[in-house]
């Protein structure tokens, strides 16, 4: 049933697109004698996307699979971290924060106001969580404080 | 604008006085983090008269001022346009009539908070920041040099009769294992050239502030002109890579390489977390379609933020801006920049129809862009647009816009607007634009993304619970051989 459904879908897609596809390179041909906009094509983008994800058993190709409406394709995940240091945590007069991902890449670095609550939105590749938050000051006596934030 | 004019006026006024008191490039340099520098000997083994040194001290209001040419390795977060070192200690020793005078106070225009050696606790150190080839001092002995930062040493004695003026300087060995800021301010390559500066050259370098915009954790000593912190999307050394299928609204071949662009954005923030700066840069990576495109980056910055800044475009492998750049921007809100234009003309492989997407093609570097905007009225982070923002194509051949799913058409003249087409997924539910981390190596020409990356379908099908590193596990023969180290010139 799954394969049958996919086959019908692919046939209809092929019918819609065949009129303007070049079999050699998969690109539409546009020549000087051809109007750039030859009238509105049937917009596949306006066809309803499948309501359920139907993955092929034997093909990983996107061409052979259907993905449900509203599916997100982002490899990134959003998270918000509240940066906050109260005035009793450090002796130093200036407080700084650093946020890094698992690849030690810096996401945030700089001075923050003591006692401020700053909500920082991050957008990080999902496999690079958890994030490491470090607070430090300008006083040698202050050891840095660390915490971790998971997805 | 007013302050710039006044600095220029002051600079030209003082430069008139200083004509007989030129800057001198010194013979000694800082090597391997240590400087043992004779201030009475200029490059070419020429002597500098103590009276000339005294004149420079007087013109700098009782300070000896040194210019430093930063020459660090362009690795990690250090790169050609921003690099730095920190000063651990400095001592000036003057001998006059057999009497020895020592001076250890000094300052530079910037500081950072750094951990030394193997330590983990940090303290403030003065820093020197610069960039490759930053200096454009003219009408001076320093013409055609590349000095960056200044060191100011207060000296409260007359040097006219000095018989020896010796500077000992030690750069800080930072704990680079901590990453930035230590990794940035490490001392690696050296050597750093030095110069004794007159007032106008000092002013020039201080106003130029070379490399400061991109340096991490810059604590400016005087008026806070730069941001207190930076927030990086997707990371300080990372890029979003966005790949498009440009046959929209018709289904493409799912190779997501019809145009490939890498970009990143950083926000400069106040200590309270309000955004004062928006910076970005990126590259054209590949063009695997025969269509030509304009590439836009839209960031929905709130009304009345007062966005002022400039966009620069660089020809591949150069630091020279294109003709017509930089272009200046001054808008109230809603930043929507057409960054790359007519890619079919500006990004070509003379041997092929496609650029960098065929397995046997020779790599063609793409243009690089950079932008820097100040927000006149700081904006709370909660009101700023979310990454990865809205990177979109306008396909010149079809007249259609192509956005990430969930975004809306922007251009009043596009076919999307004319025909009311707002969806950016196809009949099988797949998008026409996809962002990935910069480790992703896009599929070769005509190769379906799912064939090139067999875990991708499982990643999507599992609601992204499985195979979140799918983009690291491509099939070698199906993906481009060019990684970010190639296109990030």
Query: Searching chain A, which residue's CA lies closest to the CA of residue B428?
Result: A66
Write down the ipTM of this complex.
0.80
Nearest-by-Cβ selection for A27 from B254, B289, B382: B289
If one compares B216 and B479, the residue with the highest pLDDT of the two is: B479
Rounded CA-CA distance B111/B78 in Å is 16
B249 with A43: Cβ contact below 8 A: yes
Nearest-by-Cβ selection for A62 from B229, B386, B450: B450
pLDDT of residue B216: 86
Q: Which percentage of chain B shows pLDDT scores above 70?
A: 90
Confidence of residue A102 (pLDDT cuts 50, 70, 90): very high
Residues B68-85 have pLDDT tens digits of 998 876 655 777 778 899
In the predicted model, what is the mean pLDDT of residues B309-314?
Answer: 92
In the predicted model, what is the mean pLDDT of residues A114-133?
Answer: 96
Burial of A91 (0-12, 13-18, 19+ CB in 10 A): exposed
In the predicted model, what is the mean pLDDT of residues B301-309?
Answer: 87
Confidence of residue A134 (pLDDT cuts 50, 70, 90): very high
Contact B397, A36 (CB under 8 A): yes
pLDDT of residue B67: 93
**Mutation for testing the B interface, residue in A73, A101, A124, A137 having most B CBs under 10 Å:** A73
Contact B293, B391 (CB under 8 A): no
A40 with B415: Cβ contact below 8 A: yes
| pLDDT value at B437 more than 70 | yes
| pLDDT value at A8 more than 50 | no
| pLDDT value at B420 more than 90 | yes
pLDDT of residue A53: 85
Residues B349-384 have pLDDT tens digits of 999 999 999 999 999 999 999 998 999 899 999 999
Distance from CA of B290 to the nearest CA of A (A): 7
Distance from CA of B145 to the nearest CA of A (A): 32
**Mutation for testing the B interface, residue in A26, A28, A107, A143 having most B CBs under 10 Å:** A26
Q: Which percentage of chain B shows pLDDT scores above 90?
A: 65
Rounded CA-CA distance B63/B39 in Å is 13
How far, in Å, are B188, B294, B388 from residue B77 at the CA level?
13, 30, 21
B381 with A119: Cβ contact below 8 A: yes
Residues B151-174 have pLDDT tens digits of 999 999 999 999 999 999 999 999
The mean predicted confidence, pLDDT, of chain B is 88
Contacts with A91 from chain B: Cβ below 8 Å? none
With residue A78 as reference, give the H or E element that holds it.
strand A76-83
If one compares B295 and A34, the residue with the highest pLDDT of the two is: B295
pLDDT of residue B394: 97
Contacts with B181 from chain A: Cβ below 8 Å? 109
Nearest-by-Cβ selection for A138 from B122, B237, B254: B122
Distance from CA of A130 to the nearest CA of B (A): 13
If one compares B199 and B52, the residue with the highest pLDDT of the two is: B52
| pLDDT value at B34 more than 70 | yes
Contact B77, B184 (CB under 8 A): yes
Rounded CA-CA distance B307/B319 in Å is 25
In the predicted model, what is the mean pLDDT of residues A103-119?
Answer: 93
Q: Is B469 at the interface with chain A, CB within 8 A?
A: yes
The residue among B195, B77, B75, B175 whose CA lies nearest residue B119 is B175
Identify the top-confidence range among B23-37, B41-55, B76-90, B401-415: B401-415
Rounded CA-CA distance A22/B435 in Å is 27
In the predicted model, what is the mean pLDDT of residues A43-63?
Answer: 78
Residues B376-405 have pLDDT tens digits of 899 999 999 999 999 999 999 999 999 999
Rounded CA-CA distance B38/B27 in Å is 8
In the predicted model, what is the mean pLDDT of residues B441-460?
Answer: 96
pLDDT of residue A48: 67
């Amino acid at each position: 049933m799954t394969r049958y459904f996919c086959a019908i879908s692919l046939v209809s897609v092929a019918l819609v697109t065949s009129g303007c596809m070049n079999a050699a390179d998969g690109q539409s041909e546009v020549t000087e004698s051809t109007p750039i906009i030859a009238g509105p094509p049937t917009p596949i983008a306006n066809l309803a996307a499948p309501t359920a994800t139907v993955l092929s058993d034997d093909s990983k190709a996107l061409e052979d699979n259907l993905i449900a409406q509203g599916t997100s394709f982002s490899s990134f995940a959003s998270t918000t971290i509240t940066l906050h240091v109260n005035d009793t945590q450090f002796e130093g007069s200036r407080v700084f924060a650093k946020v890094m991902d698992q690849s030690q890449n810096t996401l945030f670095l700089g001075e923050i106001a003591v006692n401020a609550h700053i909500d920082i939105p991050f957008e990080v590749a999902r496999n690079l969580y958890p994030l490491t938050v470090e607070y430090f000051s300008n006083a040698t006596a202050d050891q840095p404080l660390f915490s971790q934030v998971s997805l | 604008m007013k302050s710039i004019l006044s600095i220029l006026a002051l600079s030209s006024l003082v430069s008139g006085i200083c004509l007989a008191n030129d800057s001198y490039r010194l013979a000694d340099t800082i090597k391997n983090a240590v400087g043992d520098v004779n201030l009475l000997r200029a490059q070419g083994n020429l002597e500098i008269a103590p009276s000339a040194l005294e004149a420079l001290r007087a013109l700098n209001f009782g300070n000896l001022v040194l210019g430093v040419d930063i020459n660090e390795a362009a690795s990690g977060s250090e790169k050609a346009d921003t690099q730095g070192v920190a000063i651990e200690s400095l001592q000036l020793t003057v001998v006059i009539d057999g009497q020895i005078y020592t001076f250890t106070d000094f300052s530079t225009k910037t500081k950072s908070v750094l951990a030394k050696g193997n330590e983990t606790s940090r303290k403030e150190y003065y820093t020197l920041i610069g960039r490759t080839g930053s200096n454009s001092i003219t009408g001076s002995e320093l013409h055609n040099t590349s000095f960056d930062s200044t060191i100011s040493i207060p000296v409260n004695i007359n040097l006219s009769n000095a018989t020896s003026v010796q500077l000992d300087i030690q750069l800080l060995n930072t704990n680079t294992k901590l990453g930035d800021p230590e990794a940035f301010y490490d001392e690696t390559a050296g050597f750093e050239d030095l110069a004794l500066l007159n007032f106008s050259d000092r002013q020039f370098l201080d106003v130029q502030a070379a490399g400061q915009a991109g340096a991490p954790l810059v604590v400016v000593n005087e008026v806070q002109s730069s941001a207190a912190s930076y927030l990086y999307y997707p990371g300080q050394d990372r890029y979003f890579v966005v790949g498009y299928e440009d046959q929209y609204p018709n289904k493409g071949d799912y190779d997501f390489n019809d145009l490939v662009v890498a970009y990143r954005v950083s926000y400069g923030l106040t200590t309270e977390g309000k955004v004062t700066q928006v910076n970005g840069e990126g590259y054209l990576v590949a063009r695997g379609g025969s269509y030509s495109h304009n590439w836009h980056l839209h960031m929905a910055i709130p009304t009345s933020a007062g966005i002022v800044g400039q966009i620069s475009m660089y020809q591949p492998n150069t630091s020279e801006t294109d003709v017509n750049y930089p272009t200046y921007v001054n808008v109230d809100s809603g930043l929507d920049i057409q960054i790359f234009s007519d890619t079919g003309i500006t990004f070509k492989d003379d041997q092929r129809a496609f650029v960098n997407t065929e397995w046997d093609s020779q790599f063609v570097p793409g243009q690089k862009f950079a932008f820097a905007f100040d927000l006149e009225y700081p904006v709370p982070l909660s009101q700023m647009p979310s990454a990865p923002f809205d990177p979109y194509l306008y396909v010149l051949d079809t007249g259609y816009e192509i956005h990430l799913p969930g975004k809306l058409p922007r251009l009043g003249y596009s076919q999307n607007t004319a025909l009311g087409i707002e969806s950016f997924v196809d009949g099988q539910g797949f998008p026409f634009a996809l962002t990935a981390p910069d480790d992703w190596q896009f599929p070769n020409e005509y190769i379906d993304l799912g064939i090139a990356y067999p875990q991708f379908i499982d990643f999507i099908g599992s609601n992204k619970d499985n195979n979140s590193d799918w983009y690291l596990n491509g099939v070698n023969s199906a993906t481009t051989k060019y990684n970010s180290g190639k296109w990030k010139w």
